[in-house]
């Protein structure tokens, strides 16, 4: 018996689902997400806009008075200015650095390792990033890592003095570190110093020795005039250390005629001296202050300092996203450009960048939205003394509403103004995504 097949012409069509069923199926998927979106996004946004039209206490409808107060506040003017700086510098820098690093890591060995290292800061919260960089930005080069690195470069060109904080120990030495007694050939000078902490004593310092007279020369000693348990100022005693490396000048008629450096015992000698009327002075270079460091957390540099901290955590994300787009570029297009005689820079500029433009746009707009709502780094990095110089609109919204002021009307007005700033970037992002579909 043969197998019978149904006749397509005689087979009745499948019943169409009802309109209710056709609408219910997509709503069953979209419903939970829409409900959450309404509860957590749409309702709070509408309620915030309405709240901005009421007084801070919420008992009087004031129309746009909160907005007028907001734009008349000098601190909010600073916040708007800082937001403009963040928008102008942050997203573009993140995108450019991410692009450069993505191209470079593609061409080196151990690329995955470098990507992990550069991406790792993204795993740290922005609050923790702010704490880390606040420590690194400490002005004292002995405490802040950034200034410690800059200090090592600074000291190559400007060597600090051996004794940056010393002072005369007796009236025999003036406040300008000149030995008061005039000397002639064969004379000696004792230059006692105090206010020298143990860590400031140069390495190699040994017991100071009382200088001995030498014909045709002027001798002397520079020492730490401090003896545990007490001692006599201006007298070299047992247990007191000589100061090595001190530059000493020999003066005659107020002019320097010779210089010498002290040895480990603090001793120095000027040979070939004749006549009288000489004075001995410790050169000012001996007391040159060490570099004090850049005041990164001061009012003038706090915003650039925080942008650098933000770049440290955001560039890794941009590099990974751009790297993914870079790996999707057809290699035959790049090879064709090289075959036609294009240099590597021309290939990068005229082929790679145009093909990566959709990815670069996504990264740029994402970072633009991110810097508009920047808050954590400011809260963790900026000291209280400069918070008005570092503030942004997001920070002011939180501070006015919840940090004791209870100015909920003004806080809602700032939030509404921020939402208005977000809208153009969101529209652009949606349109860009539709074009790329």
Domain with residue 259: its CATH number is: 2.60.40
> Which of 264, 287, 310 finishes a domain?
287
Tokens of 118: 């550069």
Which H/E stretch holds residue 267?
A: strand 267-271
**One domain for residues 278 and 318:** no
Nearest residue to 292 (alpha-carbon basis) of 140, 146, 114: 140
**One domain for residues 264 and 305:** no
Q: For residue 392, what pLDDT is reported?
A: 94
In a domain, 31, yes or no: no
Q: For residue 378, what pLDDT is reported?
A: 94
Cβ contact 162:202 at 8 Å: yes
Distance from CA of residue 131 to its chain's centroid? 11
Threshold 0.85, pTM exceeds = no
Cβ contact 191:177 at 8 Å: yes
Q: What is the Rg, in whole angstroms, of the alpha carbon atoms belonging to the chain?
A: 37
Q: For residue 59, what pLDDT is reported?
A: 86
**One domain for residues 272 and 196:** yes
Q: For residue 17, what pLDDT is reported?
A: 60
CA dist., res. 34 & res. 303, Å (int): 39
Q: For residue 365, what pLDDT is reported?
A: 87
Cβ contact 395:406 at 8 Å: no
∠ CA 83-86-91 to the nearest 5 degrees? 135
**One domain for residues 217 and 262:** yes
Tokens of 417: 């103004």
Half-sphere exposure of 253 (CA within 13 A, CB side): 2
Cβ contact 223:239 at 8 Å: no
In a domain, 143, yes or no: yes
CA dist., res. 238 & res. 226, Å (int): 10
CA dist., res. 297 & res. 387, Å (int): 10
**One domain for residues 217 and 305:** no
**One domain for residues 326 and 404:** yes
Q: Is the dihedral of CA 399, 405, 406, 410 positive or negative?
A: negative
Task: Count other Cβ atoms within 10 Å, centred on residue 90.
Answer: 21
CA dist., res. 211 & res. 155, Å (int): 33
Strand-strand pairing, 188-194 and 217-224? parallel
For residue 255, the cross-strand partners are 252
CA dist., res. 82 & res. 96, Å (int): 21
**One domain for residues 214 and 280:** yes
Q: For residue 430, what pLDDT is reported?
A: 75
**One domain for residues 263 and 302:** no
Nearest residue to 220 (alpha-carbon basis) of 167, 265, 158: 265
- pLDDT averaged over consecutive 10-residue blocks of the chain (437 residues)? 57 63 79 88 91 89 91 92 94 93 83 84 90 94 90 82 81 88 91 86 89 91 85 87 91 88 93 90 83 90 95 92 88 85 85 89 88 91 92 92 86 91 79 67
**One domain for residues 172 and 112:** no
Q: Which domain holds residue 211?
A: 167-287
Domain with residue 407: its CATH number is: 1.10.3720.10
Q: For residue 11, what pLDDT is reported?
A: 57
> Which of 263, 287, 311 finishes a domain?
287
Cα torsion through 17, 19, 20, 24, rounded to 10: 80
Domain count, the chain: 2
CA dist., res. 242 & res. 327, Å (int): 66
In a domain, 9, yes or no: no
Q: For residue 352, what pLDDT is reported?
A: 87
**One domain for residues 280 and 369:** no
**One domain for residues 271 and 334:** no
């Amino acid at each position: 018996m043969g197998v019978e097949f149904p006749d397509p012409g005689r087979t009745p069509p499948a019943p169409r689902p009802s309109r209710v069923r056709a609408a219910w199926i997509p709503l069953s998927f979209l419903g939970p997400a829409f409900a959450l979106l309404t509860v957590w996004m749409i309702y709070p946004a509408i309620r915030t806009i309405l709240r901005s039209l009421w007084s801070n206490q919420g008992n009087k409808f004031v129309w746009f008075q909160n907005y007028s107060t907001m734009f008349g506040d000098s601190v909010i003017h600073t916040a708007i200015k800082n937001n403009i700086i963040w928008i102008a510098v942050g997203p573009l820098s993140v995108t450019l650095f991410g692009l450069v690093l993505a191209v470079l890591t593609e061409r080196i060995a151990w690329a995955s390792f470098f990507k992990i290292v550069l991406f790792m800061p993204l795993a740290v919260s922005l609050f923790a990033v702010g704490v880390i960089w606040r420590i690194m930005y400490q002005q004292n080069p002995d405490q802040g890592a950034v200034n410690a690195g800059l200090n090592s470069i600074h000291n190559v060109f400007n060597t600090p003095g051996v004794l940056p904080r010393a002072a005369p120990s007796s009236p025999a030495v003036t406040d300008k570190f000149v030995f008061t007694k005039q000397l002639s050939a064969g004379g000696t000078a004792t230059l006692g110093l105090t206010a020298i902490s143990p860590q400031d004593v140069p390495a190699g310092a040994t017991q100071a020795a009382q200088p001995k007279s030498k014909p045709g020369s002027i001798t002397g000693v520079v020492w730490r005039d401090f003896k545990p348990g007490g001692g006599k100022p201006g007298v070299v005693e047992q247990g007191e250390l000589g100061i090595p490396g001190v530059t000493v000048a020999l003066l005659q008629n107020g002019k320097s005629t010779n210089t010498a450096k002290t040895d480990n015992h603090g001793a120095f000698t000027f040979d070939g001296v004749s006549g009288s009327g000489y004075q001995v002075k410790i050169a000012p270079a001996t007391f040159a202050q060490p570099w004090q460091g850049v005041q990164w957390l001061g009012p003038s540099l706090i915003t650039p300092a925080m942008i650098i901290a933000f770049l440290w955590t955001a560039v890794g994300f941009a590099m990974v996203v751009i790297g993914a787009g870079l790996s999707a570029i057809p290699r035959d297009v790049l090879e064709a450009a090289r075959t036609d005689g294009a240099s590597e820079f021309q290939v990068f500029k005229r082929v790679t960048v145009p093909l990566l433009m959709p990815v670069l746009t996504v990264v740029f707009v994402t970072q633009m939205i991110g810097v508009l709502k920047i808050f954590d780094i400011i809260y963790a990095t900026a000291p209280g003394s400069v918070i008005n110089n570092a503030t942004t609109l997001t920070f002011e919204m939180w501070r006015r509403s919840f940090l004791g002021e209870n100015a909920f009307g003004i806080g809602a007005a700032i939030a509404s103004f921020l939402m208005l700033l977000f809208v153009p970037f969101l529209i652009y992002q949606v349109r860009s995504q539709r074009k790329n579909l």
